[in-house]
Structure 1
Amino acid sequence: MPITESTALALERRSHAHSSQARAPLSKASGVSMSSSPYYLQGSRFTIRMNGVIGWLARRGFSLKGTAELSVRGRKSGQQQRIPVNPHPYEGAEYLVSARGHSQWVRNMRVAGGGELRVGRTVRAFTAVELPDEEKLPVLRAYLEKWGWEVNQYFKGVTAKSTDEELIAAAPDHPVFRITVKP
């Protein structure tokens, strides 16, 4: 069931209470080290509207520079939640990176362990494993090389040209999942 813009805004207000950081506790199942107050940059009304347009285009088969619509089961509602994402191929594997931090889709993915990527009628079901912070460096650098023009503002000044130390420092704020498409 699709989430309307008004539903998304209501959920965002309720879950974030007008804060730029999420307050809900994170799942301990992933074993990934995280800061005590997880980073999450809430989307503006414009961003939410644009995500709706990009998701609508992906459902109809139009991928903008590789975007796809992610569908993942909600950890509380059990309903499929949808959001456009930028699947990132790197060294023979495919990854999902959360530029905005510990978002709702990230929390849902940790519980669900997978989901679906859709572009038009092509639906790819997958399983997902979250990378520990120490394994994120090359994936984050490659992701920022490709998508930096779109996501740099969410990385607090860290870019693809940043030092390894700067990228490693940013790693806890940006969950990365290695996805494996089911046959």
Structure 2
Amino acid sequence: MSDDPTPPSWLKTMNKLVVALGRLGVPTGPSQVLTVPGRKTGQPRSTPMTPFEYGGAWYTVAGYPGADWAANARAAGAGVLTRGRRARRVHIVELTAEQSRPVLRAFAQKVPVGVGFAKRSGLVVHGTPEEFEALAGRLAVFRLDDR
């Protein structure tokens, strides 16, 4: 496992494709698109992600430590979550490392596409709940509350 994996070269292209399909109203599996203002430019920045329900709330997890979208979401505190042509405004709340532990365990069970992504990136080896829990404090975890 790498201590500080970097996104694969194809990720930006894939993200742009998923965002474009979403704008056309084409859902792409379980993914949704979070749009927040950029922290430096204020321009809208859209990133595909896979929110999941846990304990009656909705969460999302950054795929990499230091992900730009996570920094933008943290700075903005609010955004728009879109799936196909449906959009809803959300308040974005970052969890502490301690708060994120059970959410990361749930992520390992509820988001298979995210588990595969984490395995390919070298963040985890087997994708177990214990491995994901150990990422608390390294990966940003956000709760998405309706506004």
Q: Which residue of 1 aligns with 2:99?
A: 135
Letter in 2 for 1:177: F
Quote the offset at 1:45 in angstroms: 2.7
1:118 matched to 2:72: no
Letter in 1 for 2:123: K
Matches of 1:69 and 1:167 in 2, distance apart? 23
State how many pairs are aligned: 142
Residues 99, 155 of structure 1: alpha-carbon distance in 2 compared, 3 angstrom cutoff: farther
Quote the offset at 1:101 in angstroms: 1.8
Deviates further, 76-85 or 150-159: 150-159
Quote the offset at 1:48 in angstroms: 1.4
Letter in 2 for 1:94: W
Percent of paired sites with the same residue: 32
Matches of 1:59 and 1:75 in 2, distance apart? 23
Q: Paired residue for 1:156, among 108, 113, 123?
A: 123
> Contact 2:104/2:133 (CA < 8 Å) preserved in 1?
no
TM-score, structure 2 normalization: 0.84
Q: Which residue of 2 aligns with 1:77?
A: 41
Matches of 1:173 and 1:158 in 2, distance apart? 16
Quote the offset at 1:72 in angstroms: 0.6
- The structure whose residues are more often strand, as a share, is 2
Matches of 2:127 and 2:45 in 1, distance apart? 30
TM-score, structure 1 normalization: 0.69
Which structure has the greater CA radius of gyration? 1
Residues 40, 87 of structure 1: alpha-carbon distance in 2 compared, 3 angstrom cutoff: farther
1:170 matched to 2:135: yes
Which consecutive unaligned segments of at least 5 residues does structure 2 have? none
Matches of 2:52 and 2:64 in 1, distance apart? 16
